[in-house]
Amino acid sequence: MPVLHIGVAGASGRMGRALIEAIAQAPDMRLQAALDIAGSPSLGRDAGAPIGAPCGVVISDDIEAALSGCATLIDFTRPEGTLRHLMACRARGVSMVIGTTGMNAEQKAVLAECARDIAIVFAPNMSVGVNLVFKLVEIAADVLDESFDAEIIEAHHRHKIDAPSGTALRMGELIAAARKQQLAENAVYERHGVTGERPASAIGFATVRGGDIVGDHTALFAGAGERVEITHKATSRATFAQGALRAARFLADKKSGLYDMQDVLGLR
């Protein structure tokens, strides 16, 4: 069985540890490199030590050295760091699986440009279940017209730094596209005080932050006398890690191109 040599960015974070554990359990993968930011107290430590499985791979902040021998870099960090890693991967011909959220339109355009030279899977959520939910939301939004009010509710742990989540925004984008709208023109991210009657075209977002919630998302379509709710609840980051590994396997024979989890799962 061919073995894929994988690098992990943000190796000492919650998602990084989940990825390293998943790679350790995958017979067709090997952890080749583990990256973290300069100044991290984890630098120089064995990447597998926090999960009780020392692997001999030392956490480093040297992206150039880390990419040597890597087939794919998996990155769930922050936009600025991801773009630095992207440039290094492009120069070395290393593919990327990117689960970083909070990217703006300009940063996404850079991804698309780099995808001319390397293969990239970029998705706001790598969970197989969530990506099935995306398809269900797309179908529901196509069937249910604007007589059904669309609202998106998401909840995450207290440490998450962006809101709404990338998954919630993707749900909004799918609903807007099905209704031939632009999300930027119809999204309502905050309600307070006397807001007036709800516009039929609005796509509302509600955000909850607290405790150790891994990630809950609901797309709610509320009509007269009935409502449809499509919900996904994650109880472990392992689901995101397994989806990311599936994406890395998908890229194994790809030379270039920008893909998402719908491509990986054959849901197009």
Give pLDDT tens digits for 161-182: 999 998 999 999 999 999 999 9
Res 157 pLDDT > 80? yes
Contacts 24+ apart (CB under 8 A), 250-257: 250/121, 251/72, 251/95, 251/97, 251/119, 251/120, 251/121, 252/2, 252/4, 252/71, 252/72, 254/95, 254/119, 255/118, 255/119, 256/115, 256/116, 256/117, 256/118, 256/119, 257/115, 257/119, 257/120
Q: For residues 32 and 11, is the Cβ–Cβ distance under 8 A?
A: no
pLDDT at position 97 is 98
Task: Give ∠ CA 161-96-172 in degrees, rounded to 5.
Answer: 45
Residue among 85, 156, 217, 232 flagged as catalytic? 156
Res 1 pLDDT > 70? no
In angstroms, the CA 118 to CA 65 distance is 19
Convert the pLDDT of each residue in 32-72 to its tens digit: 999 999 989 999 999 988 878 788 999 999 999 999 999 99
Residue 156 annotated among the catalytic residues of the structure: yes
Q: For residues 261 and 247, is the Cβ–Cβ distance under 8 A?
A: yes
Average pLDDT over residues 63-91: 95
pLDDT at position 49 is 86
Convert the pLDDT of each residue in 117-152 to its tens digit: 999 999 988 999 999 999 999 999 999 999 999 999
In angstroms, the CA 25 to CA 140 distance is 37
Q: Which domains does the chain have, with CATH numbers?
A: 4-122+237-264 (3.40.50.720), 128-234 (3.30.360.10)
Confidence band, pLDDT 50/70/90 cuts, at residue 101:
confident
Q: Which residue has the tokens 């709208």?
A: 181
pLDDT at position 130 is 94
Cα 21 to Cα 8, 12, 225: the distances in Å are 11, 12, 47
Convert the pLDDT of each residue in 210-268 to its tens digit: 999 999 999 999 999 999 999 999 999 899 999 999 999 999 999 999 999 999 999 87
Residue 108 annotated among the catalytic residues of the structure: no
Task: Give ∠ CA 36-7-4 in degrees, rounded to 5.
Answer: 170
Supply the angle between the helices 166-178 and 128-143 in degrees, to the nearest 10.
30
In angstroms, the CA 92 to CA 135 distance is 34
pTM of the shown model: 0.82
pLDDT at position 143 is 97
Both tokens of 137, joined, read 């939301």
Residue among 5, 135, 160, 254 flagged as catalytic? 160
